[in-house]
Amino acid sequence: MPQPSANYLFLWAIALIVGLTLSVIILGEIIYRLQYRRLPLAATLKVVRNMVLPMLAFLLFLRYVLQRPANDDLVKAIQTLFWVCVLHAALSLLNAIIFEQAKADTRRARVPKLLIDLFRLFLVLLGTAIVLATVWNADLAGLATALGVSSIVIGLALQDTLGSVMSGIALLFE
């Protein structure tokens, strides 16, 4: 593979500096306006500005300015963090769209916070497993089998307690 010229690396460095700076400033202004209007989308844009953009800039810096290979452990670690941050931003957007904008007398507004947090935890674990499987080429079949067997054992051991909790959640919905 031929080595890129110094101009190519310099252009990538300048594009990252200018692009990150402009995007942080623009997102800051949009967040300020959304917070002024008390719109819940501001929290999602804060996650994008504070987590996703820096991880993306660092990943691009490693790959295109420092010329680190894609199979390098540091690049894979930053790529994993980047995708976890994207997952967090997507879940924040989903929460803002579905639950934060719900009217007070609707069914969406009455969903218990515990149920929302459990569903979010499930999605985070699922997304993290997908990221680990794709970025690190990890075989998660053994882990999935172990989790399935252990969840059956725990479910059978806590059958009465979980039944009571589910009854309580059913009562909250009614």
Question: Can you tell me the mean pLDDT for 138-164?
Answer: 85
For 10-25, write each residue's pLDDT tens digit: 899 999 999 999 999 9
Q: Which two tokens stand for residue 14?
A: 């300048």
Residue 98 has pLDDT above 90, yes or no: no
**Residue 2 pLDDT level (bands cut at 50, 70, 90):** low
- Report percent pLDDT > 90 for the chain: 49
Mean pLDDT of 44-72: 94
What value does the mean pLDDT of the chain take? 88
Nearest Cα residue to 68 out of 58, 83, 55, 81: 58
- 11-35 in b/e form (b: 16+ CB < 10 A) is ebeeebeeebeeeeeebeeebeebe
Are the C-beta atoms of residues 27 and 52 closer than 8 Å to each other?
A: no
> For the segment 109-143, what is each residue's pLDDT rounded down to a tens digit?
777 788 888 888 889 888 988 998 999 998 888 88
Q: Give which of 112, 116, 98 is closest to 172, Cα–Cα.
A: 112
Task: Tell me what pLDDT residue 113 has.
Answer: 80
Q: Is the pLDDT assigned to residue 61 strictly greater than 70?
A: yes
Calculate mean pLDDT across residues 92-100.
87
Query: Model's pTM, two decimal places?
Result: 0.79
pLDDT of residue 108: 73
